[in-house]
Structure 1
Amino acid sequence: MKVFKLKTDLQQYLNDLRAEGKTIGLTATMGALHQGHLSLVARAKEQTDVVVATIFVNPTQFNDPKDLEKYPRPIAHDIRLLEQAGCDVLFNPEVTEMYAANEQWHLDIGALEHLLEGKFRPGHYQGVTQIVFKLFDVVKPDLAFFGQKDYQQVMVISRMVELLSLPVKLVMCPIEREADGLAMSSRNVHLSAQEHQTALVLSKTLFWLRDHFSVDEMADLQQQGTDQISHAPGVDFEYLELADGETLLPATPQSKSIVALVAAKVGATRLIDNVIVK
């Protein structure tokens, strides 16, 4: 696996591969890799000739400086995992390589910016679109692979691609879960054994919603799911929403696809999860 720190070096390398007719797949990560990330690499290997992973803890998408500071950065371990997964290229730039001083960015992505995650993390999706646009601009991937766990993020990036007419196809890959159902996340390392057990209420409730789903009883099901999570000891509930899979506005009987999304804190760790119910 080739490792690059500088944009110009990476671009030169990829231009040469492109000239040979090779297709390029991108998986953009913030590191602290787990099986969920590696499943994106595996999917990219199936569908493209050259797989580029990026590891960059993006400062503009954190609302809380403490959260940014404590975000795990086990780079040596991440490199080993990517090598084992057969990744071809790693781009691991410094902040100064990706951002100039006092850079401004705003993209009007409409209601998506203020719903659900956007409501609890104001400004987050401006930071996400800012960095993903930069990475797309550097790598110029044919396909970019993102995990369903960040469902709203995929919708936001999809909207950006549409608004800016970017020549990249997005592929949303299924959530990878622990054997007990907990969605894999880089934040799970912060959970104690007891908190891990407590956190299972999120996936259990989502699976219950999927198994009992009926369009006629959506409001009632959402309330029951909310009760299950908000009454669980040790859980600081934020939201549970049955949303339209295309807009993330509240689902209606006319919604073609419906996704149940949840966010809550367990101890000091904020977790999100979702499941497609229709």
Structure 2
Amino acid sequence: MTPAPLPGIMIEAPVRMALLEDLGRAGDLTTDAIVPRDRNATTSLVARQPGIVAGLDLARTTFQLIDPSIKMRVERADGSAVAPGDVIATVSGPARGILTAERVALNFLCRLSGIATATSSVVAAVRDYKTRIVCTRKTTPGLRMIEKYAVRVGGGGNHRFGLDDAVLIKDNHVAIAGSVTEALKRAKNGVGHLVKIELEVDTLDQLREALDIGVDAVLLDNMSPATLAEAVAMVAGRAVTEASGRITPATAPPIAATGVDLISIGWLTHSVGILDIGLDFKD
């Protein structure tokens, strides 16, 4: 099911920032010199490769911030699967505005569709298991909320949005605290009763120690499927189990088969490729 669209107020700021970066100090010198002010055009956003569409609201906002009279009619909504040659949307209005907004609109649309497509591929790989695919905080600075939206469009879920969502105790926190037990005790004493606490563990001994103290979730980092299965059995439903560590569509199924609740994947947002989408003039 496609997630609810982000409110306009949440997407306008990143779009406005991207446009100001592109327009610089003098605007679109090329288009303003070549395209007559009264020239109108009808164009199509067209998929060049198969994938999942995400980011159409950002594309629409980009065009309309440049010229409110530009209209965009969506043919393939966010979450739709597209093939090469499919028309995703039709954009019509003043040609100057369309050309000026083109690159920023495509940057958002291609990037977010790439994230949705990659997420969909991993989700499909584990569809026979209960495991959910989630992203991480390894996002492009300033674009976290829209990149995490694209993960949801691809069928995945979201981990923390920021440091204030929940407690996630990692290896460096444990090292400074001196032990898993001490780190967990400090966390429990330092946050409110509604805040969830997750602990990253590298070994079954650490996991055993965490379960003795009590924890809401455990991040089982870089464990083999055999060790993960043992960890899931040890947890026995007392905490949410999450596997992480360079997981791909090929390695995800045997990890999901261990019974882990979540698989978290950083590359879905930090290094995924774009979905190639172009803007073609119809007249």
Provide TM-score, normalisation by structure 2: 0.28
Largest Rg, 1 or 2: 2
Provide TM-score, normalisation by structure 1: 0.29
Structure number with the bigger relative contact order (C-alpha 8 A, sep ≥ 6) is 2
